[in-house]
Amino acid sequence: MKLASLFSGGKDSTFAIYLAKKQGHEIACLIAVHSKNPFSYMFHTPSIAKTEKQAKVMGMPLIKQKTAGKKEEELEDLKKAIIKAKKKYGIEGIVTGALASRYQASRVQRICDELKLEAVNPLWQKDQIQLLEELIANKFEVIVLAVSAYPLDASWLGRKIDRKFIEDTKLLQKKYGINPAGEGGEFETFVVNCPLFSRELKVKKKKITGSNHSYRMEISVE
């Protein structure tokens, strides 16, 4: 099936593309929604502009869509982008990186129903520790771009998802109830390399902002 993928540049959306391709689907294009609201209910925002660099090393066309990020209204902007993909690339469905968020999955499903498209969710209900382990096993190199939960702090920014990361998040899950894959918004990520990329992206600059237990890192990559 010819699909467009909702793409944030993070681990979930990128790994979903990888799995969809392994299932035999064709990914015709990527869709990245640039939200002005850093606390968007639907969309990942840290370093979202860097999806252009990721799309380039993936060899895939990218549809960019701006939104003010207002709850529910931002879905109309997403719908506009999906309509563009349907008209330009003849897509038959949408890939998402939805893991456990019924809010996000249900709203993408509703748009797909309206546009007579299939919703493909390769990660849906996957165990979160298993997801992290599969990322490592499949040679995904992923770094943390933002944190927003106690006791996470700025020291987590730039950390790679590796075995130590998994052990640390297991402890945080047990002690504080933090979702180990960040599904509750505890952290956001960026993929710097994976089997979909023609080469690794190098992080050149970092700008960190935030306070208490809410920090984000904007990066430049080459």
Burial of 33 (0-12, 13-18, 19+ CB in 10 A): buried
C-alpha 93/C-alpha 82 separation (Å) is: 9
Distance, first Cα to last Cα, the chain: 32
Amino acid type, 47 = S
Residues 147 and 75 in one domain: no
Rg (CA), the chain: 16
Residue 128 lies in a domain: no
Which helix (H) or strand (E) segment holds residue 28: the answer is strand 26-35
Number of Cα atoms under 13 Å in the Cβ half of residue 164 = 3
What's the pTM?
A: 0.96
Domains: count for the chain? 2
Domain that holds residue 175: 140-221
* Length of the chain counted residue by residue: 222
CA dihedral 106, 112, 116, 117 (to 10 degrees): -120
Residues 96 and 176 in one domain: no
Residue 131 lies in a domain: no
Q: Please enumerate, as own/partner, the contacts of 84-88 that have beta carbons within 8 Å and a separation of 24 or more.
A: 85/4, 85/28, 85/29, 85/31, 86/4, 86/115, 86/117, 88/29, 88/63
CATH number at residue 68: 3.40.50.620
| Tens of each residue's pLDDT in the chain, 222 residues | 999 999 999 999 999 999 999 999 999 999 999 998 887 878 878 889 999 999 999 999 999 999 998 888 899 999 999 999 999 999 999 999 999 888 889 999 999 999 999 999 999 999 999 999 999 999 999 999 999 999 999 999 999 999 999 999 999 999 999 999 998 889 999 999 999 999 999 999 999 999 999 999 999 999
Residues 41 and 75 in one domain: yes
